[in-house]
Structure 1
């Protein structure tokens, strides 16, 4: 595993953090519709998305595309775990099974 793959893995974790920030923002009520979009959680989350896009675009120049797809699937796992830790959402059998199906599908796709 090279440094660019590790970088992409870290970006996948940051993507999950930004998705949890967006979910936390969506769970709140605001006095005006404009504050739904212009609050610190949304701005930080989209800033993270933009940074991840730039870093991953560069990392894909050094990593085979099939490995990027495998690394990307970990975002589903990270979101599920972070939602459990930070948002107190529960693991359900369907969520775990859905994550497993996605990961197995991507792994089968990348087999030679």
Structure 2
């Protein structure tokens, strides 16, 4: 069960990485619309996303389903942190508050 829980959170983290890659691609100017949708960022992001879906399916066979919303909520935290690191986005007070509320909700749920 612990392994399945780790796999579930790993899939959520991998999905967040996929979102960052898609945003990185969207921020770039491409020569034509074909390149906009068929470039290394997009192809890698969707490959990573399908890997995350596969990991989700593995985890869902063993993990308690009531844990899934908690794992999915953690994706917001991962995206904010990864956006700060890779996209150099600022961590506003509102985003910090959002992280705090999500973490509080996860802690309340787990205990």
TM exceeds 0.5? yes
| Structure 2 segments unaligned to the other structure (5+ residues) | none
CA distance in 1, matches of 2:96, 2:65: 26
After TM superposition, the score normalised by the length of structure 2 is 0.87
Q: 2:67 matched to 1:74? A: no
**Does the residue aligned with 1:96 lie in a helix, a strand or coil?**
helix
| Structure 1 segments unaligned to the other structure (5+ residues) | none
Over the residues paired in the alignment, what is the CA RMSD in angstroms?
A: 2.0
Counterpart contact for 2:16–2:79, Cα < 8 Å: yes
Which runs of 4 or more aligned residues in structure 1 lie more than 6 Å from their structure 2 counterparts after TM superposition? none
Paired position in structure 2 for 1:17: 17
Paired position in structure 2 for 1:88: 88
Shift of 1:104: 4.5
**Does the residue aligned with 1:29 lie in a helix, a strand or coil?**
coil
